[in-house]
């Protein structure tokens, strides 16, 4: 009986340690393999068959059904230009220049990787609204109906995802050097 | 094993070895587990090899992480283990893509509107390693795994264009393909 309890305990502890360490390494190794560009991180191995298993697991958790780089490159920002985590209670200014892809869009997601409740009408901004020149737009907890920007509702933290479809060869080959939007914090409530 | 569990040092060693195994098993099988869960979720609503047309993404969209509010999707949980699957879709004038994902999340097929070479895509997804008879002479894509997901993405170019694009999206199909010679 004692041996059985020891065995069950061993399995439970091993399962917990194994799963937690796997999750931590998935996040760490995926971040380590990403290319950095300002606030943005890019992993061009998404969707590829020969990708590191930790990156594949990260895709399953955070970017399920993402396209491989020949079709789209995804840039993720969880921090502002000063390196601080993006917070829902703050307002930010995003400024940038045209992105070298056929079509692109920036979307705000909550910590659960889903669109943020309260952000209706302001889930994303794209080249359709921003045009083909230099641009800037706000990120704030709430925005008026017809303004261009991203609303973060009551999210405590959020991240930005820049999707670039059919990226140009230069963006595809060297995403770390591309001129990407800069996310600057303006002020915070509390 | 009984002896291994008697001594505390050996018990810790046993837990360590088991934990390492659990670690690698979690990393290796997590993608398959998550894709299988999505496959099951999709086939609870409609039969396998059937296209579905989810509502335009908003904050209530919870089926797949990071949905794009700029796109409308058509999605099909495929299973080619019993035979090939035919996938058809009209191709709009604006950005559109058809992609297929293996059960380990690998994106083994991506065709966009510019590559489609016309206003319609019509292809066969076949079992890994098995060539269908294909009397219709359709392009054949070999699925990387017997089950997975097919997805079309249609860009919503404007609110005015939405009804027409949505109607086109709903013409995408996914169905078993009878590959017997006539």
> Is the CB of residue A61 less than 8 Å away from at least one CB of chain B?
yes
C-alpha distances in angstroms, B114 versus A125, A172, B166?
24, 18, 19
The CATH number of residue A103's host domain is 2.60.120.600
What is the pLDDT confidence band of residue B105, given thresholds at 50, 70 and 90?
Answer: very high
CB spacing of B11 vs A25 below 8 angstroms: no
CA–CA distance, A152 with A189 (Å, rounded to integer): 13
Residues contacting A104, CB < 8 A, separation 6+? A126, A127, A162, A163, A164, A165
Query: Measured at the alpha carbon of residue A156, what is the angle toward residues A154 and A159, in degrees to the nearest 5?
Result: 105
Q: Which of residues 157-176 of B touch A (CB under 8 A)?
A: 157-158
Share of chain A above pLDDT 70, in %: 99
Chain B (13-72) residues lying within 8 Å, Cβ to Cβ, of chain A:
14-16, 18-28, 30-31, 33-35, 38, 57-59, 61-62, 64-70
Residue-wise pLDDT for B113-147, tens only, equals 999 989 999 999 999 888 888 778 899 999 999 99
R_g of chain B, CA atoms, integer Å? 21
Per-domain residue ranges of chain B: 1-182
Residue B136 Cα, gap to closest chain A Cα (Å): 28
Q: Is residue A122 part of a domain?
A: yes
Q: Beta strands of chain B (E only): which ranges? A: 51-52, 71-79, 85-90, 96-102, 107-112, 120-126, 140-142, 147-155, 173-176
Does A21 reside within a domain? no
What is the average per-residue pLDDT within A156-177?
A: 95
- ∠ CA B42-B47-B52, nearest 5°, is 55
Could you tell me if residue A26 is inside a domain? Answer: no
pLDDT at A117: 92
Residue A173 lies inside a defined structural domain of this protein: yes
Give the pLDDT confidence of A68-116 residue by residue, as tens digits.
998 999 999 999 999 999 999 999 999 999 999 999 999 999 999 999 9
- DSSP string computed for A36-97: EETTEEE-TTTT-TT--HHHHHHHHHH-TTPPPTTTEEEEEE-B-TTSPBPBTTEEEEEEE-
Which CATH number applies to B1-182: 3.40.920.10, 2.60.40.1610, 3.30.590.20, 1.20.210.10? 2.60.40.1610
Cross-chain Cβ contact B15/A57 below 8 Å = no
Domain assignment present for residue A18? The answer is no
Number of domains in chain A: 1
């Amino acid at each position: 009986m004692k041996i059985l309890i020891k065995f069950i305990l061993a399995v439970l502890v091993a399962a917990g340690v194994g799963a937690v360490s796997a999750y931590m390494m998935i996040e760490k190794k995926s971040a380590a393999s990403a290319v950095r560009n300002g606030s943005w991180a890019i992993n061009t191995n998404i969707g590829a068959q020969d990708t590191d298993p930790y990156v594949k697991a990260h895709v399953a958790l955070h970017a399920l059904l993402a396209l491989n780089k020949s079709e789209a490159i995804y840039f993720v920002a969880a921090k502002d230009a000063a390196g601080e985590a993006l917070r829902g209670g703050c307002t930010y200014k995003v400024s940038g220049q045209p992105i070298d892809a056929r079509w692109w869009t920036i979307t705000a997601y909550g910590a659960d990787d889903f669109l943020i409740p309260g952000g209706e009408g302001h889930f994303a901004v794209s080249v359709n609204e921003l045009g083909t020149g230099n641009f800037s737009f706000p990120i704030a907890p709430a925005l008026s109906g017809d303004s261009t920007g991203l609303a973060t509702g009551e999210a405590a933290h959020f991240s930005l995802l820049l999707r670039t479809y059919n990226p140009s060869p230069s963006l595809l080959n060297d995403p770390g050097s591309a001129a990407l939007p800069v996310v600057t914090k303006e002020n915070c409530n509390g | 094993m009984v002896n291994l569990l008697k001594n505390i040092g050996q018990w810790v060693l046993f837990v360590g070895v088991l934990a390492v195994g659990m670690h690698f098993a979690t990393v290796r099988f997590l993608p398959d587990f998550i894709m299988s869960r999505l496959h099951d979720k999709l086939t609870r609503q409609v039969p396998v090899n059937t296209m579905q047309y989810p509502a335009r993404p908003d904050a209530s969209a919870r089926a797949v992480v990071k949905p794009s509010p700029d796109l409308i999707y058509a999605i099909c949980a495929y299973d080619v283990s019993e035979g090939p699957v035919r996938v058809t879709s009209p191709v709009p004038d604006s950005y559109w893509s058809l992609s297929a994902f293996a059960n380990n999340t690998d994106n083994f097929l991506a065709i966009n509107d510019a590559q489609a070479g016309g206003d319609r895509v019509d292809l066969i997804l076949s079992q890994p390693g098995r060539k269908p008879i294909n009397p219709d002479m359709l392009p054949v894509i070999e699925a990387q795994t017997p089950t997975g997901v097919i997805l079309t993405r249609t860009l919503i170019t404007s609110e005015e264009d939405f009804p027409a694009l949505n109607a086109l999206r709903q013409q995408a199909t996914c169905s078993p393909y009878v590959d017997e010679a006539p």
